[in-house]
Amino acid sequence: MTKGKQMENLSGTLLLGRKDVAALLTLDECIGAVEAAFRQHGLGNTQPPKVLGMPSLDGGFHIKAAMLNLPRPYFVAKLNGNFFYNQQRFAMPNIQGLILLCDATNGYPLAVMDSIEITIVRTGAATAVAAKYFARPQSKVVTVCGCGNQGRIQLCSLCRVLPIEHVYAFDLDETRARAFAAEFSRDLQVEVCGLQQLEGAIRRSDVCVTCTPAKRYFVHKEHVSAGTFVAGVGADNEEKQELDPRLLAASTVVADVLEQCIQIGDLHHAIAQGLVRPEGVHAELGEVVAGRKPGRTSQEEITIFDSTGTALQDVAAAALVYEKALNQQRGTRFWFSGTQA
């Protein structure tokens, strides 16, 4: 390691709040960084990412960890609390936590940053990458199920890679769906309609994305037309479920990380019911991005992206934020050891 890097490592830990992260992380850059991370994983250049979950009253915690060489080696551990009644009960974010970014050559804590913005944006970025390879290129109609922060970034991400012209917005809170429709009709200059009935909208859609805390599937096999791309984003623990297991059994399924999806994704439920076997899953997304397996192979096949959220995405986004923060001299330095270089 060069003397310059040694001095950088001794210059304290960079603390970055949510406003800092939001100012530094753009969606387009994140999509590129996440795609590159999946490519490295698909080429076998990364260690398998890890996840640990622990339930709590009305929510739970998870820790996700991974390493990437970008070309500098980084390690990330993200601790998130997911409590889906926080907003209505306490006026707090439903998902909140911290990311620790370390130098993977010596363990030095380079940065501690708020995780909310990174979790939101990197999740949308992964859907954009999957849609690039598995949605029909001419896809124009999308149904978004769940009109919170994640629904917003999912729609923005899909609009980056597909020629979206019409959007159906569904949420159990009809007021939120109407507000979502009004906001994006104005901001994206596309037609967005709030929904009360989901079934017909999915049938008319080229793309359906689900980002809810549902514990029972609501997208039925019979709802989905030939050729549709479905991104299941909400199921990130073993209790959550959005997609009919029969739909997964009848479709081409791609996992963000197969081992993780087997444990906590919508795929988990299909396997538990004996409808899908792990070896029947088409690919991990990284294998397709790396060119080792094909993406969509026909106009008629239904393709499903089981997105459980991997720490590979977190490393890619956090490293991007850190490097831009250094260049822009943003954030606050802190010496956890009590010594200052």
Annotated active-site positions, please?
78
Rounded to whole angstroms, how far apart are CA atoms 63 and 68?
Answer: 17
Rounded to whole angstroms, how far apart are CA atoms 101 and 38?
Answer: 19
Other CB atoms closer than 10 Å to residue 255's CB: what's the count? 26
- Reading the block at residue 172, the tokens are 């159990």
CB 331 within 8 Å of CB 24: no
Local structure of 56: helix, strand or coil? strand
User: Which amino acid is located at 279 in the chain?
Assistant: E
Rounded to whole angstroms, how far apart are CA atoms 110 and 62?
Answer: 22
- Reading the block at residue 299, the tokens are 């106009």
For the chain, the straight-line distance linking the first and the last C-alpha, in angstroms and rounded, comes to 18
Rounded to whole angstroms, how far apart are CA atoms 240 and 218?
Answer: 11
Rounded to whole angstroms, how far apart are CA atoms 255 and 263?
Answer: 12
> Which residues, in sequence order, are CB contacts of 318 under 8 Å at separation 6+?
74, 76, 99, 101, 111, 113, 118
Rounded to whole angstroms, how far apart are CA atoms 29 and 319?
Answer: 12
CB 240 within 8 Å of CB 217: no
Rounded to whole angstroms, how far apart are CA atoms 74 and 105?
Answer: 8
